[in-house]
Amino acid sequence: MANLGTRIYTRFRGRLVGRDADGRCYYEARTPNRTGGGEKRHERWVIYHKGEDASAVPPEWWGWLHHMDAAPLPESARQPWQQPWQPNRTGTAQAYHPPGSDLRGGQRASTTSDYEAWYPEG
């Protein structure tokens, strides 16, 4: 959700490049800006949904947004093994806690391996 200043800037300086599957809008500046290295390139930005995390940008758009790709990848280029985006759940009730974690009772499964601890001689 853009504030008033971002909406005005986008209206006068931006060109809509596309939308992702979740409806986020991606823009590019109509005129290029000079970067710190002296080269000229178009500024790119995304308008997020209200309360959304910046990590919500799908991989199809991430490379384009960071000037790694000249154009966003088509969604059809996704591979079957690629999973859909999920928010970072660290610090929430849905966070991953491996077996033996203090937050899961602290009890680890007993080992059945042939491990023998090494002790120095003497």
Q: Is residue 59 part of a domain?
A: yes
pLDDT tens digits along 25-81: 999 999 998 887 788 999 999 999 988 888 889 888 999 999 998 898 887 888 888
* All residues at 6 or more sequence positions from 114 whose CB lies less than 8 Å from its CB, including other chains: none
| Residue 5, SS3 per DSSP | helix
Q: Is residue 92 part of a domain?
A: no
Top-confidence residue, 23 or 115: 23
Strand order from edge to edge, sheet including 44-47? 14-19, 25-29, 44-47
- 78 burial (CB, 10 Å; 0-12 / 13-18 / 19+) is middle
Q: Is residue 99 part of a domain?
A: no
Top-confidence residue, 100 or 16: 16
Q: Is residue 96 part of a domain?
A: no
Please state the domain count of the chain. Answer: 1
Residue 1: predicted pLDDT? 57
Residue 50 domain boundaries: 2-74
